[in-house]
Amino acid sequence: MRDTPGQTDTARSDDASAGFEITDDFERFSQRNDVFSRALWDGRVRSRHTDGFFASYRMESAPRRADGFTQKDFALRNAAWLISDIVTNRNAAQGRREGFQAPISDDTPVAPDQVAIDDPAAMSAEIKRISGFFGADLCGITDLDERWLYADRVDTRDMSAAETGLPEGLTGVIVLGHQMDRDLVDTYPSALAGAATGREYSHEAAVVMQLAAYIRNLGYRAVASMNDTGLVIPYAIKAGLGEYARNQLVITPEYGPRLRFSKIFTDLPLAHDAPRLRGVRAFCDICTKCADACPPGALPYGPPETGGANISAIRGVRKWTSDAEKCFGFWAKTSTDCAICMRVCPFNRDFARRRHRIWLRLALSPLRRVALWLDRGRGKRVKPAAWWGRSAR
Ligand code: SF4
Ligand code: SF4
């Protein structure tokens, strides 16, 4: 393996334990090439459907009569996004869509006096407790492996490449997990289900900004980040929160794949967590439920590979990679996000329940085929009208 920009000995030694396989042609990912950015500059992705997709988040495109796509469904989804939108739009005039295409600006200064930290392990435990106080469902901590930072961010005034703007000298990444509402996820695909996504983006914006402010008040730097600045999935895996799966999501022992992740880049002295591989890869090797259920056929069959169908795939990482153009094309046609591959995944369960914890032990054991067989018939779509009926009771 060739040295890559910023790659440290620690990062290299962590790769095997995190299940990462990096090849010689590795390149840091340019955020201009993510499919959401490309929908605004690349004629191979942009269409009347993608324009309609973005307009629907402003209630500007006509809702349909189909169950799950009525004005009420879009109204709830868009209201759920509101806090995230406020954060994202506040510096948009400077080309910074914060939380998506730029890190979130500090709302508070770094305190001039620094709290002494003698025990980084105790500080990590405290940060996890405070993250729960603010509303995060999971918290893990890892080193700032620069390979997973974007090579550049997007200036959204003209969609050109710009510096990510992350300060030098930050050493750690605090990764936060935010559980999505299970009943709403069961209604994918629908605009209604998108309320589960929007609500967690709004939650995570608040949580990540509050936790970052707490760290700055202790006298250390802390940059709050959502989808911007770097790829959160490798940081979540390195921080021990879960394992990478065929549906391109992180499967966690607490919530399966039903999570969103945010992060904080910091120089607060913290002990780091270790990756935990429990056997999700082996389960995905015998399961194709997400690929079978994907309407545009965007998810791969077979073992992990390097490369991908188009420039929206990172180069030089052997992994399961979706065809992002096909995936987003489906989102655009339905005017909402899709997570069918999350809904149908056998790990999409309530692990607070004993019988699901027993299933999880089976799924991560050599008896995984029994666990897959036991999953037959699960993961069916709940009609959005039924969700509204339930909520009206
Ligand atoms: S989000 Fe939907 S379209 Fe995209 S990969 Fe998953 S199932 Fe397929
Ligand atoms: S549906 Fe099956 S193959 Fe897809 S991520 Fe879940 S366990 Fe893995």
Residue 4 lies in a domain: no
| pLDDT confidence of residue 13 | 65
| pLDDT confidence of residue 61 | 77
CA-nearest residue, atom 4 of ligand 1: 327
| pLDDT confidence of residue 238 | 97
Mean residue pLDDT across the chain: 94
CA of residue 339 to ligand 1 center, whole Å: 6
Residue 207 has pLDDT above 80, yes or no: yes
CA-nearest residue, atom 3 of ligand 1: 327
- The whole-angstrom separation of Cα 343 and Cα 379 is 6
Contact 270 CB / ligand 2 (< 6 Å): no
Residue 282 lies in a domain: yes
Region 214-239 average pLDDT: 98
CA-nearest residue, atom 8 of ligand 1: 294
Residue 10 has pLDDT above 60, yes or no: no
Nearest to 189 by CA among 50, 336, 65: 336
β-bridge partners, 98: 102
Band (pLDDT 50/70/90 cuts) for residue 1 is very low
Burial track 25-46 (b if 16+ CB lie within 10 A, e otherwise): ebebbbbbbbbbbbbbebeebe
Band (pLDDT 50/70/90 cuts) for residue 241 is very high
Residue 306 lies in a domain: yes
SS3 letters across the chain = CCCCCCCCHHHHHHHHHHCCCECCCCCCCEHHHCHHHHHHHCCCCCCHHHHHHHHHCCCCCCCCCCCCCCHHHHHHHHHHCHHHHHHHHCCHHHCCCECCCECECCCCCCCCCCCCCCCHHHHHHHHHHHHHHHCCCEEEEEECCHHHECCEEEECCCCEEECCCCCCCCCEEEEEEEECCHHHHCCCCCCCCHHHHHHHHHHHHHHHHHHHHHHHHCCCCEEEECCCCECHHHHHHHCCCCEECCCCCEEECCCECCEEEEEEEECCCCCCCCCCCCCHHHHHHHCCHHHHHCCCCCCCCCCCECCCCCCCCCCCECECCCCHHHHHHHHHHHCCCCCHHHHCCCCCCCCCCHHHHHHHHHHCCCCHHHHHHHCCCCCCCCCHHHHHHHHHC
Band (pLDDT 50/70/90 cuts) for residue 348 is very high
CA-nearest residue, atom 2 of ligand 1: 338
| pLDDT confidence of residue 135 | 98
Residue 3 lies in a domain: no
Q: Model confidence over 49-104: pLDDT tens digits?
A: 999 999 999 999 766 779 999 999 999 999 999 999 999 999 999 999 999 999 99
Task: Count the alpha carbons within 13 Å of 64 in the hemisphere toward its beta carbon.
Answer: 12
| pLDDT confidence of residue 58 | 93
Positive or negative torsion for Cα 110, 114, 118, 122: negative
Q: Which two tokens stand for residue 58?
A: 């402003």
Residue 392 has pLDDT above 70, yes or no: no
Mutate to test the pocket of ligand 2, among 185, 244, 247, 372 (most ligand atoms within 8 A of CB): 247
CA 197 to chain CA centroid, nearest Å: 10
| pLDDT confidence of residue 5 | 46
Measured from the Cα of 337, ligand 1's closest atom is 1
Region 288-295 average pLDDT: 98
| pLDDT confidence of residue 331 | 96
Task: Show the domain range for 256.
Answer: 9-392
Query: Which of 40-49, 253-262, 341-350 is least confident?
Result: 40-49
Residue 264 has pLDDT above 60, yes or no: yes
CA of residue 87 to ligand 1 center, whole Å: 27
Q: Which residues have any ligand 1 atom within 6 Å of their CB? A: 294-296, 298-299, 322, 327, 330, 338-341
| pLDDT confidence of residue 6 | 45
| pLDDT confidence of residue 206 | 98
Instruction: Look at 326 and 308; give whichever has higher pLDDT.
Output: 326
CA-nearest residue, atom 7 of ligand 2: 284
Residues 6 or more apart whose Cβ sits within 8 Å of residue 279: 363, 364, 365, 368
Q: Which two tokens stand for residue 135?
A: 């509303």
Residue 1 lies in a domain: no
Contact 287 CB / ligand 2 (< 6 Å): yes
Residue 174 lies in a domain: yes
Band (pLDDT 50/70/90 cuts) for residue 393 is very low
Band (pLDDT 50/70/90 cuts) for residue 383 is very high
Residue 92 lies in a domain: yes
Contact 250 CB / ligand 2 (< 6 Å): no
Q: Model confidence over 149-203: pLDDT tens digits?
A: 999 999 999 999 999 989 999 999 999 999 999 999 999 999 999 999 999 999 9
The amino acid at 359: W
Number of folded domains that form the chain: 1
Residue 3 has pLDDT above 90, yes or no: no
Residue 309 lies in a domain: yes
